[in-house]
Copies of this chain bind each other. A is one copy, B any other.
Amino acid sequence: MEPKENGKQLGRTLDGPTNPMVTPLLNDLYQFTMAYAYWKAGKHNERSVFDLYFRKNPFGGEYTVFAGLEECIKFLANFKLSDEEIDFVRDCLPGSEEAFCDYLRGLDCSGVEVYAIPEGSVVFPKVPLMRVEGPVGVVQLLETSFLNLVNFASLVATNAARHRFVAGKSKILLEFGARRAQGPDGAISASKYCYLGGFDATSNVAAGKLFGIPLRGTHSHAFVSSFMSTDEIVDKVLHSSDGKTTCEDFVSLVQTWLTKIQYSPSLRGIFSETNHSELVAFTSYALAFPKAFLALVDTYDVMKSGIPNFCAVALALNDFGYKALGIRLDSGDLAYLSTEVRNFFCTVERELKVPGFGEMIITASNDLNEETIDALNKQGHEVDAFGIGTYLVTCYAQAALGCVFKLVEINNQPRIKLSEDVTKVSIPCKKRSYRLYGKEGYPLVDIMTGENEPPPKVGERLLCRHPFNESKRAYVVPQRVEELLKCYWRGNADEAREELPPLNEIRDRCIKQLENMRPDHMRRLNPTPYKVSVSAKLYDFIHFLWLNEAPVGELQ
């Protein structure tokens, strides 16, 4: 995974995309057949403008988090077909002329400009996330990879944001999806974009290393069932946390505590005999990580075995100055169990006088998603941290976002894509977009205008029109106007473009923007749609062009 060097040729050095498989061949074949046909017609250098946008927010919601931009720009900066790749493309286009290979050989993105909404922004349907301009032959070759890099990134970041919303700000959210993700890079991208969307940490070590995301993890059921007897623990010594004292036989100490718990009048009756191999596994794990003891307590039976075993080890650690971190539940009724566990911890704190014991972290996992967390909230629970895998990283509730990449102008001529389905009609023209904010500081509406229209002004009344519905329009007096598209790539003109911020900054932007949305847009049930509009002038032009292009029917 060496960073590619080509980026250097186009100004500041930019590494290639995270995944080395992202090359110009990560492409639909028709982009190359079209490139050839453009070239053959001598049209390949015609200046084109494409908009990348989606038509509908995912997950039944009314917002989306935009992600994937950095990877697109890194791809662009390193866009270069190797000779081997060119040979392959030629073989895919039978009858193509050799000179086309020369054209491909010379191809890079020095003539391309990319304007985009900053990554991590909250975004809405129809408003371009990216506007890509340049010679049609090259820009066409970017379509598939850009869509691929943006679609899943935005989808999973949005999914993470939705999970954060339902879990609440105070909970710890852990992404545990590597094993169930759609392939290796599905896992690594999911880890990256879940963090961007507001998660706190991941279990995915590769993602931790690549992106600096905090890592979390303890042990599995297999670890617990791999132990059978106390004899397996050879080294029973534990040095105290301050290094001053030594416990020569930690195993016996744990056993003593277990007996003490079992015979405590206030705790007795909750369990009779605990699973011994589980106790050995916990003891062994604590000896390996005395400072970070967090145990999975449901291998046999949470309340009858896991919790007393855990407490015995935690109390033994406590004797030598270590605070156990807590437990993880991976099955059963998480609302009930977490509450029972919390009560037990509090009883131990009270009865055995161990300050802080009641506040240990209770982590829950096991096929969690928005709905189950919502249900837990309604039932009442004592979970501090949620470990979420499958439903989060595969976006199980809706596995794809439908971003499209549409030609809106070529040779300064606006183009429209018609469809019998009005939601699929594209908004023509090279455009600008603005977000208008109201008195209370919330965003009110996004508006698209023609490239050369004067921008909306603070305090000035402005007509915002629904792009396709004549009767939907509203006057707005913006208190703040934010231009949405910023330049992230302008060929060689390096100084002109925005920096690509580090992941943490993108994440902060995302969290801030989500918090700044009017609450009714964000709620899970029947959220209010956020308004997306066009200027009166653009509205008129769209409908002029539409009438011009659409065939007139004949009733027969």
Which of chain B's residues has its CB closest to A275's CB?
A: B551
Residues in chain B near residue A406, CB distance under 8 A: 221-222
> Chain A 14-48 against B: per-residue CB contact (8 Å), 1 yes, 0 no?
00011111110111111111101110111100101
| A144 & B34 in contact (Cβ 8 Å cutoff) | no
- The interface on chain A, measured as residues whose beta carbon lies within 8 A of the other chain's beta carbons, has a size of 133
> Chain A 267-280 against B: per-residue CB contact (8 Å), 1 yes, 0 no?
00100110100000
The answer to whether A149 has its CB under 8 Å from any CB of chain B is yes
Residues in chain B near residue A405, CB distance under 8 A: 222
Q: How often does this chain occur in the complex, in copies? A: 2
| B203 & A29 in contact (Cβ 8 Å cutoff) | yes
| B180 & A147 in contact (Cβ 8 Å cutoff) | yes
The answer to whether A80 has its CB under 8 Å from any CB of chain B is no
Per the bound structure, the CA–CA distance linking A72 and B540 in Å amounts to 58
Per the bound structure, the CA–CA distance linking A180 and B54 in Å amounts to 12
Which of chain B's residues has its CB closest to A416's CB?
A: B225
Q: How far is the CB of A113 from chain B (nearest CB, A)?
A: 18
Check A22/B235 contact, CB under 8 A, given A46-B226, A178-B28: no
| A140 & B415 in contact (Cβ 8 Å cutoff) | no
| B287 & A184 in contact (Cβ 8 Å cutoff) | no
Per the bound structure, the CA–CA distance linking A291 and B96 in Å amounts to 11
The answer to whether A218 has its CB under 8 Å from any CB of chain B is yes
Q: How far is the CB of A82 from chain B (nearest CB, A)?
A: 11
Check A19/B184 contact, CB under 8 A, given A292-B94, A332-B420: yes
| B180 & A223 in contact (Cβ 8 Å cutoff) | no
The answer to whether A418 has its CB under 8 Å from any CB of chain B is yes
| A34 & B223 in contact (Cβ 8 Å cutoff) | yes
Interface centre among A31, A188, A203, A206 (most CB of B within 10 A): A206
Per the bound structure, the CA–CA distance linking A188 and B27 in Å amounts to 10
Q: How far is the CB of A406 from chain B (nearest CB, A)?
A: 7
Per the bound structure, the CA–CA distance linking A21 and B225 in Å amounts to 31
Partner of A399, one of B178, B299, B394: B394
The answer to whether A300 has its CB under 8 Å from any CB of chain B is yes
| A418 & B206 in contact (Cβ 8 Å cutoff) | no
Residues in chain B near residue A1, CB distance under 8 A: 20-21
Residues in chain B near residue A407, CB distance under 8 A: 221-222, 225-226
| A149 & B92 in contact (Cβ 8 Å cutoff) | no
The answer to whether A262 has its CB under 8 Å from any CB of chain B is no
The answer to whether A419 has its CB under 8 Å from any CB of chain B is yes
Residues in chain B near residue A532, CB distance under 8 A: none
Residues in chain B near residue A178, CB distance under 8 A: 26-28, 144, 148
The answer to whether A11 has its CB under 8 Å from any CB of chain B is no
Check A43/B184 contact, CB under 8 A, given A205-B88, A217-B29: no
| A26 & B417 in contact (Cβ 8 Å cutoff) | no
Which of chain B's residues has its CB closest to A84's CB?
A: B209
Residues in chain B near residue A399, CB distance under 8 A: 182, 394-396, 399
Residues in chain B near residue A50, CB distance under 8 A: 222
| B219 & A33 in contact (Cβ 8 Å cutoff) | yes
Check A226/B269 contact, CB under 8 A, given A390-B402, A418-B300: no
> Chain A 291-311 against B: per-residue CB contact (8 Å), 1 yes, 0 no?
110000001110011000000
| A152 & B40 in contact (Cβ 8 Å cutoff) | no
The answer to whether A524 has its CB under 8 Å from any CB of chain B is no
The answer to whether A400 has its CB under 8 Å from any CB of chain B is yes
Q: How far is the CB of A253 from chain B (nearest CB, A)?
A: 17
The answer to whether A78 has its CB under 8 Å from any CB of chain B is no
Q: How far is the CB of A80 from chain B (nearest CB, A)?
A: 15
Check A184/B225 contact, CB under 8 A, given A41-B288, A394-B400: no
Residues from 167 to 221 in A contacting B, C-beta threshold 8 Å: 176, 178-190, 203-206, 208-209, 215-221
The answer to whether A285 has its CB under 8 Å from any CB of chain B is yes
Residues in chain B near residue A20, CB distance under 8 A: 1, 20-21
The answer to whether A413 has its CB under 8 Å from any CB of chain B is yes
| A203 & B396 in contact (Cβ 8 Å cutoff) | no
Per the bound structure, the CA–CA distance linking A189 and B208 in Å amounts to 23
> Chain A 53-89 against B: per-residue CB contact (8 Å), 1 yes, 0 no?
0000000000000000000000000000000010011
Residues in chain B near residue A85, CB distance under 8 A: 209
Check A402/B180 contact, CB under 8 A, given A37-B223, A228-B413: yes
Per the bound structure, the CA–CA distance linking A251 and B467 in Å amounts to 37
Partner of A26, one of B94, B184, B390: B184
The answer to whether A487 has its CB under 8 Å from any CB of chain B is no
Can you show 18 pairs from A to B with CB atoms below 8 A apart? A17-B184, A18-B21, A20-B20, A25-B205, A27-B205, A29-B208, A33-B218, A33-B288, A34-B219, A93-B289, A180-B400, A186-B186, A222-B417, A225-B417, A331-B424, A390-B400, A395-B399, A399-B399
Given A26-B188, A225-B416, A301-B551, 5 new contacts (CB under 8 A): A30-B218, A40-B235, A182-B183, A299-B417, A331-B420
